[in-house]
A and B are shown apart, each in its own frame.
Chain A
Amino acid sequence: MENLSEFEANQKDLIHILHKIQAEYGYIPSQALSSISKHLKISESEIFGVLTFYKAFSLKPRGKHLVTICTGTACHVRGAPMILDELKRQLSIEPGETTEDDLFTLETVNCVGACALGPIVISDGDYHGQMNTREVNKLIKKIKKEIKE
């Protein structure tokens, strides 16, 4: 991680730095911890504590595209489990896993605060409300098509 020098050695910037690395690499590589530790003068265990606390950070490489489905109460009663099953079938992975071609990561979340629009699927930061299995099928196909182009 050579790019740490752009940050001041201020311990308060830890989460900011983690976000940047997460955005750039799609995950927090383990080597990053020792670089951050040296730069900010925080022990690696403490950094590990912070990054395992927040769901926004991942220690495993994520796919190019992140598909998140809300399984909160409202989305659940509106059919989220069926959509999740469809996603699992389409991508052949379990929630939390990444496809072998490193293109998709599937994750679940317990509420995104837009219950009226449920069930909700978020793909790469775009929120799709009132989803159903057909819509989600379209969504995945669309992303796959974009990749090919």
Chain B
Amino acid sequence: MIIFIDGKKFGIESKKTILEAARENEIYIPSLCDHSRLSPFSGCRLCIVEIKGRRGYVPSCSTYVEEGMDVKTDSPRLRKMRKQILELILSEHPNACLICSEKENCDEYKSTIRKVGEVTGCVLCPNNGRCELQDVVKALKIDKVRFPSVYRNYEVKKNDPFFDRNYNLCILCGRCVRVCHDLRGSSAVSFVFRGSKAGIGTVFDQTLLEAGCQFCGACVDVCPTGALTERALKYETLPDETRKTICPFCSIGCELKMELKEGRILNSAPSEDGPVNQGQACVKGRFTIKDAVYSSQRILKPMIRKNKELEEVSWEEALDFVAKKLKKYKGKEIGLIASPQVSNEDNFLIHKFAEYVLKTENIDSVVRFSSYAVFQDLAQKNGFELNLNFKIEDISKAKTIFLLGADIVVTHPIIWLEVLRAVNNGAKLIVASSVDFFLNRFSSLWLKMKPGSEYFLLSFLSKVIIDKSKVENLAQIEGFKNLKSSLDELDLSQAIEKTDIEEENIKKAAEILIKETPSVFIFGMELTQLPWGSQNLAGLWNLSLQTQGQLVPLGLETNLRGLFELNRHCSSNTKGFKRIIQDAEEGKVKALYLASPIPYSQKAKFEFLVIQDSFMSENMKKADAVLPAASFAEIEGTFVNVEGRIQKFNKVIEPLGEAKPDWWIISQLAQKMGHNELNYNASSEISKEMIKNIPGFSGISFQKLKKGERLFIQEEKKGKKKFVPIKFFSTSIETSKEYPFLMLVDYNLDYYKNLDLSQEIKAFGIIRNSRWFKINPNDAKKTKLKDGETMEVESSKGKVKGIVKVLESVPRGTIVASFLWNEEETISVARLVSPLSNASHSLVLLPVKIKRGK
């Protein structure tokens, strides 16, 4: 399409607005309410243009280009109107500094005056230098405001975590309202009141926390003024550089840009052109990165135990000590635990170290408990091909989305954004859960079910679909007859009894699944973490085959997929850390190399314990050597995200203290133990070797990775399909008089290595907290427990204390706890089962009793 802007001819794609077309061709049109990720709004009216043959002045942000359109972006009349509009906006925005004739000379005096509470001019504004209003004032050359200025005199809202809201600076562009509603689905803020009192606010002026804010920070990122500002930046000046890297706090792999000042991270924010996240992040990536990296819990120097005390020593001494000790043990007497939160390179090397240097099979990680492992097991036993790759952007194209076993708004926020996009495009969202998730507001159907009864639901849906859809299509898939006969014994009344779902809703779900295709089945760890997790998954697998839907397995940890891929090829004979800890209890494993946090019982006594981590932990009390590993921000490497996408992350700052990359520590240790073949100078050397040796990574060149090309783990393209027959058994976890409550566990990744984010970062702990025991208001009333009190939860095996959190979303008769792999034994719900190392599988449904703790 040909259009003319200011007399020049341009070729523009249709479906673009005039503003977009002009920006693409570097023609400046001032605007304040428009944002590239948001739909047009035409609120500020600054982007008005003239179009030949059209009356009046049209906003270019909401006018789409048409063939032959002749646009004028600048004329004396336009300039005059824009100036007047901007002066009107400024009359309600503190503007003394903007139009001050001395503003050029002001710089040297303004370094500390930001600390004042009231912002009456730019030099007092925390957003000074980042403000879009400043830019537009400069571009339009405003030097006076002809209207009387109004200061709204609203109180600055400082009661929420992470950012302040100063609506005295708000220009009512509505970006925050739109991003919160359109992109994030929270709608925590809205336009409130009318006329001169109109503003942005929450219901009854509640805090954002009360109004359902997720604190993703999207509103802060789009705010053109200082109305919404990150508190941590308030006392900082402008950054001197920005670097990009990948967020390590969940398996999505958002690209973040980090602002740096003199080599220190100032903050982190989602990168506008991040391939996965496209300008969005979550509370963890947006607000907690800096505090986590600079945590006071960081281990900064190598330590070894001398005279019963850990003492700081040099790397040389620490490595010599560990090497000498490890040499003493035979291979099978040493166990290693790898981490799904470090890079592929680090993990490749630790596996190589185990195989070539220690000559042990005892290497494992929490991958063993992931939904990937359950899925792989199911595939192997039943002879179908395992496909784990998917594309996040495909989710928004689905017509039906079926979600089980994860509160994705918390665990995989970017996937939630895609689900929201699909729902906004008319897709039906079916949620099967016992807890009332926030996203149920968007579901067409919430199948409120008895905890743990998923496979009855899924099998019954399978059965209905077999009866209702064309059998010929399905019968061609192997195993159909077996599946059909295995489902014979299940009838509607049984399904209703087992799941507690209303008959009407089960029928509705089946109807949606048959009619609305393509469908996507998203499942998280809570589906597979039950003792009968593989039956749950089998039910879902069958359903996805029947409806030709896409199965989306959600791995939890940052680089779980990468480590899983390594495990598939490096250590098929490994024992599993359940066995390693058990062997330790029996005295078979004598030395443990912990490169990842795990809970383990006091009973397991190791002669020699090495901890390689970035953060201090309770386990250090028992450690003989502690080796400080660098955090993600201090190294480079690759992560594989939940889709199977391989992404390179970059070094942002120098390692803190004497911390070193994990691979360096392992490499040095190997050399000390006389293995020079593990000598590497950079993580890129390991990348190259890994790409050669691990089939999943084949065909991926380091050059391509550096360029940021889209690279996925290699998989068999056309996987073999086969139905899996369902075995029915009565689920046996029931509450009793003595243990009247059922404890559910929600799995989230609110920890990084040994750091519990909710305990380290207070503001984050207000939003969600690993110590919370969530309870229904009715149960709280009955047991006389109040928010914030200490509560003791006891099972037949042990007891643990936590903090009461009363939430309506929790079903009656249940307690929802969170389980973190890095929690110390004294506070972990893992205490409630025995042995501890058995934790992950038996925690999901656990009969418990509760009382007020001291």
* A interface residue numbers (CB < 8 A to B): 30, 33, 41-49, 52-55
Contacts and interface: CB of A to CB of B under 8 A. Distances in A.
Interface stretch (B33-41, B60-68, B188-196, B492-500): B188-196
Closest 10 CB pairs of A and B: A49-B190, A43-B187, A44-B203, A48-B203, A45-B190, A41-B441, A45-B203, A52-B193, A46-B190, A45-B202
Contacts of A42: 187
B194 A48 contact: no
A43 B438 CA distance: 11
A127 to B, nearest CB: 24
Contacts of B192: 45, 48-49, 52-53
Interface string B14-55: 000000000000000000000000000000000000000000
A43 B194 contact: no
A53 B203 contact: no
A42 B201 CA distance: 15
A52 B202 CA distance: 11
Nearest to B189: A45
B187 A46 contact: yes
Given A49-B192, A52-B193, A43 B211 contact: yes
A45 B201 CA distance: 7
B39 to A, nearest CB: 16
Contact of B188 (A30, A45, A47): A45
Q: Which of A47, A52, A55 has the most CB of B within 10 A?
A: A52
A107 B265 CA distance: 56
Contacts of B384: none
B204 A43 contact: no
9 contacts: A43-B441, A44-B203, A45-B201, A45-B212, A48-B201, A48-B203, A49-B201, A53-B192, A53-B193
Interface of B: 181, 186-194, 201-204, 211-212, 441-442
B204 A30 contact: yes
B117 to A, nearest CB: 26
Given A42-B187, A53-B194, A47 B442 contact: no
Contact of A45 (B193, B211, B441, B442): B211
A52 B553 CA distance: 44
Contacts of B186: 43
Given A48-B204, A53-B192, 4 more contacts: A30-B204, A43-B203, A45-B212, A54-B194
A41 B844 CA distance: 29
A49 B187 CA distance: 11
Given A41-B441, A41-B442, A42-B187, A47 B194 contact: no
Contacts of A44: 203, 211-212
Contacts of B188: 43, 45
Contacts of A49: 190-192, 201
Say what secondary structure dominates the interface of chain A.
Answer: helix
A41 B187 CA distance: 11
Contacts of A47: 203
A3 B192 CA distance: 26
Contacts of B211: 43-45
A41 B212 CA distance: 13
A115 B442 CA distance: 47
Contacts of B441: 41, 43
A11 to B, nearest CB: 11
Most chain B beta-carbon contacts within 10 A, residue among A30, A33, A48, A53: A48
Nearest to B186: A43
Contacts of A55: 194
B225 to A, nearest CB: 20
Contacts of A52: 192-194
Pick the most buried of B203, B204, B441: most chain A CB atoms within 10 A of its CB: B203
In this complex, the member of A43, A45, A47, A55 whose beta carbon has the largest number of chain B beta carbons within 10 angstroms is A45
Contacts of B193: 52-53
A49 B193 CA distance: 6
A97 B703 CA distance: 72
A24 to B, nearest CB: 21
A57 to B, nearest CB: 11
A111 to B, nearest CB: 14
Given A30-B204, A33-B203, A48 B442 contact: no
A33 B187 CA distance: 14
A137 B427 CA distance: 61
Contacts of B190: 43, 45-46, 48-49
B187 A48 contact: no
Nearest to A44: B203
A45 B204 CA distance: 8
Q: Among the interface residues A42, A43, A46, A54, which one has the most CB atoms of the partner chain B within 10 A?
A: A43
A45 B210 CA distance: 10
A53 B204 CA distance: 13
Of B187, B188, B190, B194, the most chain A CB neighbours within 10 A belong to B190
Nearest to A51: B192
A30 B206 CA distance: 12
Nearest to A38: B441
Contacts of A33: 203
Contacts of B194: 52-55
B665 to A, nearest CB: 49
Contacts of B202: 45, 48
B212 A43 contact: yes
Contacts of B201: 45, 48-49
